[in-house]
Each structure stands twice: as structure tokens, then as C-alpha cells.
Amino acid sequence: MSRVPRFAMKRPSLERFRRQLASVDAMPQLCILGILAGILTGSVMVAFRLLLNFGALFFMPDADPEAFESLSPFLRAALPLAAVALIGFWLWPQPGRAAKMGISHVIERLAYQQGKMPLRNWVNQWWVGIVSVLGGLSAGREGPAIHLGSAASSWIGTRLRLPHNSLRVLVACGTAAGIAASFNTPIAGVIFAMEVVMMEYTIAGFMPVILASTMGALVSWTVYGAEPAFSVPPLHLDSLMDLPGIVVTALVVGLLAGGFVRLSQGHSAVTRLPFALRLGVIGLLTAAVAWWYPEVQGIGYDSIDRMLNGSVALDVLLVLAVGKLALTAICIAGGVPVGIIGPMLVSGAAVGALMGVIGGSLLPSVTTAPDLYAVLGMAAMMAAALQAPLAALLALLELTRNTEIVLPGMLAVVVAVMTARQLCRCQGFFLSSLAQQGLHPLQQPLMQALSRVAVPAVMERNLVRTPRVIDQERAKALLDSKPTWLVITQDDKEKPPLAMKAAHLARVLHDEAWLAEHEQIDLEEVPGQRLDLAPVHLEATLSEAYDTLTESGVDALYVEHTTAPMIRRISGIITREAIENYYRRKR
């Protein structure tokens, strides 16, 4: 009686999961990570907002972290001074690299450290993010949210010792989920992550980021509801005669965005000042403006609500349009890494509302209500300052939930981006900030492609280790498993191993004349090519392997990983030729 074959599923294992993630096509595995990253980032963002509300309990009316207008002039002016003192007290004993926070830090770590995030910077971000917002500095919560979410997501990969190519995707997942949880705009979160942070679009990258953004938004919805960060009334373009006014508004926004980026970079005379003095200047300037105009303090979403659903005095609009943007830039230039997205949106809305009021007074029969211009100003400012037009357009669409506004939004975004880029020579806030430090996150196409895959996907696993000198019987035994490579360990432990094709040893074992002269086989004397090797970790990406090959001047690497404390095992060989052939196949 014939037996029916049984199909047994392979038992899941973390090692197999890591090996699958090493490939560029590991979409199901990356999607699992995207879900985990989205849930974790959404939870971190909720915790951050709850901490803001908890801190507001002690001195803010109705425990509202944005109710600075209800405070006395003395208290609201004292808050920025206390905030810079607390931030300085916290950061002063630490090295300068520990003060790197926010989205710029995320992009830098993604470009040059494969997405690994330092714990100290993550802890500092909690402190600086909460103190800067509650302390009345012109600061947003989105920058801290992206840093905290990206680092938490990266921690998943680091904890599980996943390949570095998956860490990059996890960082993008944390970024998208942070934006989604903050604004309730999951689509904009996805595009922001790909356009601003990852700076590339791939199908394998999109899918887990979409899932992460969705989960981040869902976690936020369970606590704060599904409404956007601020309420937007129904808007539409009444007449095409509004288009010239929209173009002029976008021109002004583009110029202000370029000025913001330039001012935030700081002059060398400012950066050479002692840190304490810079903090003092930031605190005093913010306190002076806040004495008269508390609207410049904090995130400012309450001001956007008033601009869109009520009326705001012209002098307040002017201060929000210029003053809030300048105070945010001064904080950045002075070394306080505050979030910039919230203040940019407030400033853009104020510019738009101001231009709408002016246009309405000059041409009352042509210009639409200022609230339309305010919404377009927000999108234009975000697009111009970050050089991220697509993310700004999708944020506009999700915040308004109105497709009729897309056409004027596209016009405003394009004009503002071109103005900032061409007239102000603005590359975008994050690119300019990193270029100022001698860093540039844009990689060459080769390195960008190689960052998407880890060495286990390309390395040759069929190898055996052997000492340099062996007898003929040992040599024949080595070839029984039909290896591709022989890894020759040196007598001197300080010297790196060598690699030789097993075919060279097989050839001499068939040469009786050569064997008669060599009772002991010295593998360094066997005719054939031997490659000097340098180590690379199993979790490394192909771009890291390529850099290691270039820096060490060798033609091959041995891939090692730790199997137990102080015990390392060679898992494979990867050659320069293998990396280049992989790139050619994937082009």
C-alpha cells in the first residue's frame, strides 16, 4: 500500500529570517517588520504627546501645552529662559555628538551608519523635545517624533541582529509612522519617509513603510481619534483670477523658506560663541517676542486653527510669518535641535493668510477668503524649505480631505520650490544642514543599490577552513565536501587568512610528480591565485562590503559572525567581482 507523502513546513527560525532579509526581494519579511515598527512608533508618539500633556498639568491652563496666550507676560517670558537653562544643563556635560537629534540626525545615521541609532541621542531627544515645546521655544513635535520612532524601529533590527539593509527600511518605517501618528496623515508619512529620509523609491521599500504608517496612524487614532492635527474648513478655488495671487504668495513663501534655511545654518561667528552664550541669546530673543506675542511659542497648531476658522490680527500674522520662522532658525543655529515642521506650517499658514487679507483688501471682488491662501501657504512652505514637493502635496490633500484644492496646491508648491531653489540656492533644510557638517546623504547609484541587500545574499558559503600546511590525506579529505573556496588560516594569529580556489588544490592532487616532491603540502606554494582577505560582519550591506574592500585594498572578504561570546565563525567569502556582478544583474 503506497503511502501518501507528507508535506512538512519548515520550522521558523531567526537565523532563516535573517538570511531571507539579506535579499533585496524579502518583501514578506520586511512587511512583518513594518507592522512591528509602526505599532512601536505609534506607541512612542502617543507616549511623547502624553508626556507633553502631563508636563502642561503643572503650569498650563486646562493642561493644554499650547495655551501660552493664557499665561501672564512674565511667566511666558520666563519659560524660554528656563527651557534653555534646562537644555544647557542636560547637554553641557555630554560630547558634541550627543546633541545631534531630529530628522537631520536620522538622515545622517541612515546614510553613513546604516540606520544604527545611538541610545544616548535617543534619550536626549525625549528631554530636549519635551522641554523645548513646554518651555515656549518655537519648536515642533514632529522632528522628535521621527527621531524617537526611527530609533525605536531601528532598535528592533539591532536587538535581533538583522542585516543592515533591513535596518534602513526600519528607519523609514519609523519615520513614516511618526508623521502619520503626529498629523493623522499616513499617506504623507509614507512619501515623506521615501522623499526626504530614504531619498529613493523602490517597491520593496514602499510596502513595509505603508504598513508601518498605517499602524502608526491606527495606534494614534485609538487614543486621540481620527481627526487631523487641526481642523480645516471646506475650501475651493472660486475663480481662476485667484491664480496670480497664489503665485505671488508662493513667491513670498519661497523667499522666506530660503531665508529660513540660510539663517538656520548659522554664521561662523555665531557657532564660535560659547554654548551657554548661544543659549542665552535664544532664550532672551524668544522671551522678548513672547512678552508681546505669545503665539510664537510652542508648536502653534492653535494659531493655525484660528487662521483657518476665525480671524487673526494683521500684526499677529506678520509676527507668525516672519518672527516664528526666525526664532526657529535661531534655535537651530544656536545648537538647540528643535523640531521645525510644526513652526514651518504655522509660518506658511500666516504668510498665506496675510497675503489673502492684503489681496482681499486690494481686490475684494477677485481674491478668495484668506483661509484658502493659508492652507496653500502651509504646503508651499513645507515643500520649499524641505525641497519635498510630493510629501507637501499629499499632506495638503490629507489635511483638507478635499481634492479640489490639489490644483492650486500644485501651482503653489512648484512656484515656492523653484523660488527657494533658484533664487535662494536652497537645497533643502536637511541637505543643507548635513552639507554644512561636511556630510552629504545622497549616495552614488552604485552605493544606493548595494545598500538594499546584505552580504549573505551574495557570499559564497561553500568553503572549508584549513591550516596552511597539511598532509596529502588531509588535503583529499578537505575536497570530499567539494568546496569552492579554501580559507587558509595563518600560524600568526595576527595575520588575516587567505582564500584560494579549491580547484587549485584538486589539480595538484592529480599531479603525481608534484606530490612525489611534496610529502607535506604548503598551501601557499600550491600553484594558483591566493587572495588576501579582510573581515566583514554578516549583518553588513554590500555597500559596507564594497567600502571595506576599497579601504583595505584587498579583493575579497571573509564574512564572520559571533556564535557565542568570544567565538567567531567564518560563514562565507565575498569577492569584489561577486559584488560587481550582482550590481550588473540588478540594473
- Of all residues in the chain, what percent are helix, strand and coil, respectively (each to 5)? 65, 10, 25
CB 543 within 8 A of CB 457: no
Structural domain contains residue 232: no
Does 406 lie in the same domain as 299?
yes
Does 180 lie in the same domain as 45?
yes
The rounded distance, in Å, linking the Cα atoms of 88 and 277 is 10
Structural domain contains residue 3: no
CB 488 within 8 A of CB 524: yes
Does 395 lie in the same domain as 270?
yes
Does 241 lie in the same domain as 214?
no
364, pLDDT greater than 60: yes
47, pLDDT greater than 70: yes
How many structural domains is the chain composed of? 3
49, pLDDT greater than 90: yes
346, pLDDT greater than 70: yes
Of residues 258 and 491, more confidence is placed in 258
Average of pLDDT values for 535-557?
89
What is the pLDDT at residue 353? 94
Does 551 lie in the same domain as 461?
yes
The percentage of the chain sitting over the pLDDT mark of 90, rounded to a whole number, equals 50
Structural domain contains residue 513: yes
CB 323 within 8 A of CB 289: yes
Structural domain contains residue 397: yes
> What torsion, rounded to 10 degrees, do the Cα atoms 99, 102, 104, 110 define?
100
What is the pLDDT at residue 573? 92
Q: Which of 1-5, 387-391, 431-435, 456-460 has the lowest mean pLDDT?
A: 1-5
438, pLDDT greater than 60: no
Structural domain ending residue among the three candidates 176, 201, 225: 225
Average of pLDDT values for 441-463?
78
Beta-strand pair 485-489/463-467: parallel
Q: Which whole-number Å values give the CA distances from 524 to 33, 183, 454, 570, in the listed order?
A: 46, 64, 31, 20
What's the pLDDT tens digit per position in 234-274? 887 877 788 899 999 999 999 999 999 999 987 666 778 89
CB 176 within 8 A of CB 209: yes
Cα 426–143–128 angle (5° rounding)?
120
Identify residue 559 by its one-letter amino acid code.
V
What is the pLDDT at residue 527? 87
Q: Quickly state the pLDDT bin for 52 (edges 50, 70, 90).
A: very high
What's the pLDDT tens digit per position in 63-75? 899 999 999 999 9
DSSP designation for 534: E
Structural domain ending residue among the three candidates 191, 225, 259: 225
Beta-strand pair 530-537/556-564: parallel
Structural domain ending residue among the three candidates 405, 438, 471: 438
Does 279 lie in the same domain as 380?
yes
Give the phi and the psi of residue 556 in degrees, each rounded to 5: -155, 160
**Element counts in the chain: helices (H) and strands (E):** 26, 8
Q: Quickly state the pLDDT bin for 370 (edges 50, 70, 90).
A: confident
What is the pLDDT at residue 291? 96
40, pLDDT greater than 70: yes
CB 488 within 8 A of CB 500: yes
Q: Which whole-number Å values give the CA distances from 154 to 33, 287, 483, in the listed order?
A: 10, 37, 36
What is the pLDDT at residue 4? 47
What's the pLDDT tens digit per position in 270-310? 778 899 999 999 999 999 999 999 999 999 999 999 998 88
Task: State the chain's mean pLDDT as an integer.
Answer: 88
Cβ within 8 Å of residue 93, ≥6 positions away: none
Structural domain contains residue 369: yes
Does 314 lie in the same domain as 421?
yes
- Other residues' Cβ atoms within 10 Å of the Cβ of residue 525: 11
Q: Minimal CA–CA distance to 266: which of 326, 347, 324, 343?
A: 326
Average of pLDDT values for 497-525?
85
Q: Quickly state the pLDDT bin for 518 (edges 50, 70, 90).
A: confident
Cα radius of gyration (the chain): 29
Q: Which of 220-224, 380-384, 419-423, 566-570 has the lowest mean pLDDT?
A: 566-570
Of residues 5 and 55, more confidence is placed in 55
Structural domain contains residue 444: no
Q: Which residue range forms the structural domain that includes residue 414?
A: 237-438
Does 267 lie in the same domain as 136?
no
What is the pLDDT at residue 380? 97
For the residues of 222-258, what is the DSSP string, one character each?
Answer: HHH-SS-SS---------GGGHHHHHHHHHHHHHHHH
Cα distance from N-terminal residue to C-terminal residue, the chain: 53
Structural domain contains residue 553: yes
CB 28 within 8 A of CB 211: no
What is the pLDDT at residue 1? 44
447, pLDDT greater than 90: no
The rounded distance, in Å, linking the Cα atoms of 117 and 114 is 9
Average of pLDDT values for 166-186?
92
442, pLDDT greater than 60: no
509, pLDDT greater than 60: yes
The rounded distance, in Å, linking the Cα atoms of 175 and 212 is 9
Sheet holding 530-537, edge to edge: 463-467, 485-489, 498-501, 530-537, 556-564, 567-575
Model-level pTM greater than 0.85?
A: yes
Give the phi and the psi of residue 565 in degrees, each rounded to 5: -50, 125
Average of pLDDT values for 336-348?
94
422, pLDDT greater than 90: yes
Can you give the CATH number for the domain in which 75 is found? 1.10.3080.10
Beta-strand pair 567-575/556-564: antiparallel
Q: Quickly state the pLDDT bin for 7 (edges 50, 70, 90).
A: very low
Beta-strand pair 556-564/498-501: unpaired
Q: Which whole-number Å values give the CA distances from 200 to 125, 452, 504, 573, in the listed order?
A: 26, 11, 44, 29
Q: Quickly state the pLDDT bin for 366 (edges 50, 70, 90).
A: low
Q: How far is C-alpha 324 from the chain's CA centre?
A: 25
Of residues 112 and 343, more confidence is placed in 343
Does 428 lie in the same domain as 554?
no
Does 182 lie in the same domain as 118?
yes
What is the pLDDT at residue 8? 47
What is the pLDDT at residue 247? 95
Does 245 lie in the same domain as 122?
no
CB 294 within 8 A of CB 327: no
436, pLDDT greater than 70: no
Can you give the CATH number for the domain in which 468 is found? 3.10.580.10
Structural domain contains residue 208: yes
